[in-house]
Amino acid sequence: MKKFYLFTSFSIFLFAILWNGLVHMVILKEFNESVAYLRRVNQNEFFSLALLMTALIAFLFSCSFLKWKKKDTVREDFAHILFFSSLAGVLVDLNQWILYPIPAKTILLWFLFSILEFTVYQQIANFYYKKWIR
C-alpha cells in the first residue's frame, strides 16, 4: 500500500508540473496573460508553496482513488474523475471567477483542461493499482 501511495503520488506530481507548464505557459498563454495584472509581483517567492500544494493534491488524489475503487470499472473511474475535477473546479476555478474579474471563457478552459489532467492522473493511479493492489 505504501508503494502505491509513494509511486502514484510522485508520478502524478511530476506529470502535474509538466502538464501545468504546457497548459498555462503554452496552450492557454494568451488567456492567462489576460489575468496577469492580478498576479503577485513577487510570485517567485511562493514557488515552494506551489510545489507543496501540487504534491498535496497528488497525494489527495491517490488517497481518494483508493477510496473510490470498488469494482475496478470504467464507470467508477469516470465518476472519480468527474468528482475530483468538479471539486477542483469549484474550489479553484469558480472561486477565482467570483473573486476576480476573470473572463468566463478562461475559467471554462481551465476547467476543461483540469478534466483532461485528472483523467491522466486516473490512468497513472490505475497503472500502479494494477501493479501493486489488484
Asked if 9 and 62 touch (Cβ cutoff 8 Å), the reply is yes
How many domains does one find in the chain? 1
Contact of 114 with 89, CB cutoff 8 Å: yes
pLDDT in tens, 37-73: 888 888 888 999 999 999 999 999 999 999 999 999 9
Q: What is the CA radius of gyration of the chain?
A: 16
What pLDDT is attached to residue 44? 85
Distance CA 19, CA 65 (A): 20
Is 47 in contact with 21 (CB distance < 8 Å)? Answer: no
Which residue is associated with the grid cell 496552450?
Answer: 27
Domain interval for residue 90: 2-133
- Distance, C-alpha 94 to centroid of its chain: 15
- Give me the pLDDT at residue 134, please: 80
Task: Give 68-112 pLDDT, tens digit per residue.
Answer: 999 999 999 999 999 999 999 999 999 999 988 888 999 999 999
pTM of the shown model: 0.93
Closest by Cα among 93, 128, 122 to 108: 93
Question: Which pLDDT band, with edges at 50, 70 and 90, does 118 fall under?
Answer: very high
Res. 31 pLDDT band, cuts 50 70 90: confident
Q: pLDDT at position 34, please? A: 83
